[in-house]
């Protein structure tokens, strides 16, 4: 998670969009 989060943040200049996507995916997986 930490690595993916960091990579996503660095790759995406916005960061927020990627963060939201990752959070949504994790939520869906948990549900």
* Each residue's pLDDT tens digit, 1-31: 566 666 655 666 666 666 666 677 767 766 5
Q: Which two tokens stand for residue 30?
A: 């948990």
State residue 25's pLDDT score: 72
| Distance separating alpha carbons of residues 24 and 19, to the nearest angstrom | 9
Q: Return the pLDDT at 22.
A: 67
The domain in which residue 20 lies consists of: 1-31
Alpha-carbon distance 3 to 31, whole Å? 22
For position 11, what pLDDT does the model report? Answer: 62
Element (H, E) at 4: helix 2-11
**Do 18 and 11 form a contact (C-beta atoms < 8 A)?**
yes
Asked if 10 and 18 count as a contact pair (C-beta separation under 8 A), the reply is: no
**What is the number of structural domains in the chain?**
1
What predicted TM-score, i.e. pTM, was given to this entire model?
A: 0.26
């Amino acid at each position: 998670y930490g690595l993916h989060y960091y990579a996503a943040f660095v790759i995406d200049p916005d960061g927020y969009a990627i963060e939201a996507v990752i959070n949504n995916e994790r939520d869906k997986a948990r549900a």
